[in-house]
Chain A
Amino acid sequence: MKTVHFTINGETYRREVAEHKTLLHFLREDLGYTGTKEGCGAGECGACTIILNGKAVNSCLVLAAEADGSVIETIEGEASGNTLTEIQQAFDRNHAVQCGFCTAGMVMTVKDLFRRNAHPTRPEVIEGIEGNFCRCTGYEQIIEAVLDAAEHGAAEEISARDAGTTKEVSDA
């Protein structure tokens, strides 16, 4: 067992963790963050995508022990109560969710994409979500949702949240 410290969606944790446990299983089984999904478990499908120290990663290929001292963002940190983020609202508007299994990873990947590129072109969106499989939508609705989210200021909303002020607060 190893003692690890994390910040997950702004909350600090100190836990004992089995050294061979993946970060994905630690989040889901030990901490109850079941929003993040396990698809292939081999880094192919992106369902388990989280943001680790500011970088999108496949949490199925990271050990919880490795992530000691890190800052983690998961899907649970996105909506605030019943208020969805711009990305989530755009997914909703554009019917980009069918079974929903890929959605948590997809949203985290898109969040990371917007931090690097506030207004991606269509080819950049396609390349950006290359590491996230969706077996329902055929991707078209997801691509539309990402472009729509950009138009609705998703990147600006993320920067505002990163700066410690929510959009609601800055609007008020």
Chain B
Amino acid sequence: MLHDFLYHDPGSMADALSFLREHGEESTVFSGGTDLFVAIRAGLTMPQHVVDLKGIDELHSLSWSDAEGLSIGACVTVNDLVESAIVREKFPVLYAAGSELATFQLRNRATVIGNIVTASPCGDMSSPLLVHGGQVVLSSAAGERKMPLGEFITGVKRTLIRSDEIVSRIVVPADWAGAAGGYEKLKRIKGHDLGVVAVAMIKSSAGFRVAISSAAPTPLLLPDFSPTATEEEIRKTAQEMITPIDDVRATAEYRAYMVDVYIRRLMKSLEGNT
């Protein structure tokens, strides 16, 4: 049973943002609800208002332009993402991670941006968007601001979003589009599971980019590596930067070890790609 909140379904961005300007502190916005209603049910959050974004047409947009790159609207589901031909062609690491996220039913509802705003260290969308330099676009009645995803997520379930704001879209720049990539995720079972640890890696003529989930309070983007970077250099940097913990799913030692395994595995799988 859920507590007694009020449901709102604004039909435009202007209506949603003016509502949040007045009631943002007591509201939670949502689209898929796959995290929100679990949290409400568990008593972890008790908003007075829940604001459904799905009635706002522009937030359903998933589009590509050579100038801007890929734009993912707030209501784009994970299945919308993995079914997109442009994503499969230009962002194989996003496709791979999206396909690993939860179950088919949940992917029909869960949104890419919801996974980011939830800011879980194990969120499957974070690392692939980090390696591609994803930029978060925050909209409010006062205007728009844009920041790198790495700055937006500040801690476990913490971000820089204000109560009057909506993450209206994420922009994935075109510069690394088409890069070969892979996503390795450790799970406890073969079926769907939260990631115990995960590594996303892309490679192009510009070099390597690597991000790691579930090995620090936030998903972690390593510094860019040159095309001539050695496996040892990337492995060493990763081990220096991660701060994994022991928890119910794995020990810190196991996580650190598997990060190393996955980096070697991804380097090998990307050999020959530029």
Determine the residue in chain B with the shortest Cβ distance to A108: B105
Q: Is B192 an interface residue when CB atoms closer than 8 A count as contact?
A: yes
Kindly identify which residue among B1, B38, B50, B54 contacts A43, using a CB–CB cutoff of 8 Å: B38
Determine the residue in chain B with the shortest Cβ distance to A53: B108
Kindly identify which residue among A20, A21, A43, A109 contacts B106, using a CB–CB cutoff of 8 Å: A43
Q: Is B34 an interface residue when CB atoms closer than 8 A count as contact?
A: yes
Residue pair A58, B106 in contact (C-beta under 8 Å): yes
Residue pair A61, B104 in contact (C-beta under 8 Å): no
Q: Chain A residues near B109 (CB, 8 Å)?
A: 57-58, 61-62
Residue pair A62, B33 in contact (C-beta under 8 Å): yes
Q: Chain A residues near B254 (CB, 8 Å)?
A: none
Q: A57-B108, A66-B7 are in contact. List 12 more A-B contacts (CB 8 A).
A: A20-B7, A25-B1, A41-B41, A43-B38, A56-B108, A57-B109, A58-B34, A58-B109, A61-B109, A66-B9, A127-B104, A131-B104
Given contacts A61-B33, A61-B34, A130-B191, contact A20 B2 (CB under 8 A): yes
Q: Is B257 an interface residue when CB atoms closer than 8 A count as contact?
A: no
Q: Is A79 an interface residue when CB atoms closer than 8 A count as contact?
A: no
Residue pair A22, B104 in contact (C-beta under 8 Å): no
Residue pair B104, A128 in contact (C-beta under 8 Å): yes
Q: Chain A residues near B6 (CB, 8 Å)?
A: 19
Residue pair A22, B37 in contact (C-beta under 8 Å): yes
Residue pair B105, A66 in contact (C-beta under 8 Å): no
Residue pair A46, B38 in contact (C-beta under 8 Å): no
Determine the residue in chain A with the shortest Cβ distance to B37: A61
> In the complex, which residues 22-54 of chain B have their Cβ closer than 8 Å to any Cβ of chain A?
32-34, 37-38, 41-42, 50, 52, 54
21 contacts between A and B (CB under 8 A): A19-B6, A41-B41, A42-B38, A46-B105, A56-B105, A58-B105, A58-B109, A60-B37, A61-B32, A61-B106, A63-B33, A65-B9, A66-B33, A66-B54, A109-B105, A127-B104, A130-B191, A131-B102, A131-B103, A131-B105, A131-B106
CB-defined interface of A29-47 with B at 8 Å, one 1/0 digit per residue? Answer: 0000000000001110010
In this complex, the member of A55, A61, A63, A128 whose beta carbon has the largest number of chain B beta carbons within 10 angstroms is: A61
Residue pair A19, B5 in contact (C-beta under 8 Å): yes
Q: Chain A residues near B9 (CB, 8 Å)?
A: 65-66
Q: Chain A residues near B106 (CB, 8 Å)?
A: 43, 58, 61, 131
Q: Chain A residues near B157 (CB, 8 Å)?
A: none
Q: Chain A residues near B34 (CB, 8 Å)?
A: 43, 58, 61
Residue pair B7, A2 in contact (C-beta under 8 Å): yes
Given contacts A43-B38, A61-B33, contact A49 B4 (CB under 8 A): no
